[in-house]
Structure 1
Amino acid sequence: MLRNMLTRDELIQWMRTELPRLLQEDPAFRAQVIGILSEALVSKGELTRLLDELRAMREESQRRFEAADRRFEAIVEELRAMRADFERRFEEVDRRFEAADRRFEAIVEEMRAMRADFERRFEEVDRRFEAVDRRFEAADRRFEAIVEELRTLRSDFEQWVRFSQQEFAALRVRVAEMGIGLGSLGLRMGQGLEEVIRQVIESFSGAGPLKAARLVLIDEAGELYQPGARVEIDALVTDGRRFLVEVKNYAKTDEVWAFHRKARFAEAKLGETFEKVLIAPAATASAVALAKQLGIICYTFRAAESRETSE
């Protein structure tokens, strides 16, 4: 009821004036208050012990903070020394970069001078190449003229070669005609025709080397002539391919027939098959046609167009 009637400030003032008197005058009240306070507050000894512990903790903390301060001071000093060393090093690096910059500037200037010198030299080279180009153009024109002249000479030479080849071909024909004629004449004079025939056969057949010999057979049964007559063939050319060769100065159809009969007689007599060749410097056209019909190779240089007259 007193609490409801007093304000907070009045209550505090009352406790300040009345509480000490009540504690002194009323032992029971004092004991009750002390019991209540002892449960909520520490004793003086405990408070002293707590204060000592707090003091010890404070001193330990102080020592640790002082040690930490000393360590931080050492770290700070080390960092300051490192910073000073870094600054010295960076200053050295700056000086080196400045020196490098100066060297690069000098190199750049030197390269600029070299470039200017190269440009002057290239201009001189260009002028020289232009002069060389003009010389080559003049040389090209001269070579073109020379090439045209050589082409003309080549054309003239080719025409001369073709003409010479034609002349040599005609000359070979004439020489062959002379060889056959002389060989035939030599046969009648006792000289060998076989060598001339061998050369002619090798020339037109592409075979060789060949062997040539005169072939003489005996007509014992009188199949061609009277019994016991000699059947003579101008040459038997052999060595791989086998040829029966007859040579005439001028071949006509009756001579083609005669050679055909002699060749068949020789094949029957010898039991072999031969390639039959008639060589004549000149022959009638009908003789050439008959030889082809009978399977005889007629090697002639001139075929006459006139008709044969029967004798």
Structure 2
Amino acid sequence: MNDRLTTLLQRFALHIAPIRPTPLPKSVFPDTTLPAQPGWLHLLLRGPVQLEGVGDTQPAVGRHQWLQPALVWLPAPLAHTLRPLSDQGTTLLSAPVHFGDPALNPLIDALPPVLVLPRREMTGPMAATWTLLVNEYEAAGCAHGEVLARLAEVLLLQALRRTVEGARGRVGLLGALSDDRLRRVLDAMHARPEHPWTLESLATEAGLSRTALATQFRAAVGVPPGDYLTGWRLRLARTLLAQGRAVKEVAEAVGYTSPAALTRVFTQRLGHPPTHWWNDRR
């Protein structure tokens, strides 16, 4: 059986572009502005730095300052500025992070706008990965950028795993993934959206009664199991439509008996049929 993240990572692969030092001004006051990308990863190796949202992103991003080394991940596409807080020099490595379509990946919705993990809180394998990355940056050998990117991907996956493991008891997808019984239900829906799931069959996956599953799932995730399943199917449907798949093929892949059935639910939930959504995306 897959673990709590594998199925979602198979649907939405995490990829980091070649990672490079962020050119910060030597003065303490000028900013470096980074545009909205699919997401951003920043690795602060040395020196204090401030991160702040730009324009409409300010309420979501806010303002943050770090004085010590840290991993900083913005999972969603949010423009922001970076400002050194000392004229003694700051070393910051940055790269765009691709984690599937931000509008379709439920993990991006579940994560905070700015996820921070200070270096001092990294232990075990994660601390070892950080050390390897810093050593690679300082050595600057062949394929330097690519090696840094792969190490950064491992570090980010370790940070994601730690975030999920620390979310037990919280409302939302991450909290539900940290509950063994609810995780089995979510994993079943994520892995087999085409299956004709019912509350009874999902309860069997969890080893719970239908009433207990309905109550616990809604309390943890915020919506009933059936509503989550419909939302997940529509996320996958949009992902497949974006790949150029026909509506009939998409309907079968996500558990609807006909294109008409998918179109009806798609229109009810999203306000327009699948063909209109795809035409608007092109």
TM-score range, shorter chain: under 0.3
TM-score normalised by L of structure 2: 0.17
- Choose between structure 1 and 2 for higher RCO, CA contacts under 8 A separated by at least 6 residues: 2
Q: Which has the larger radius of gyration?
A: 1
- TM-score relative to the length of structure 1: 0.16
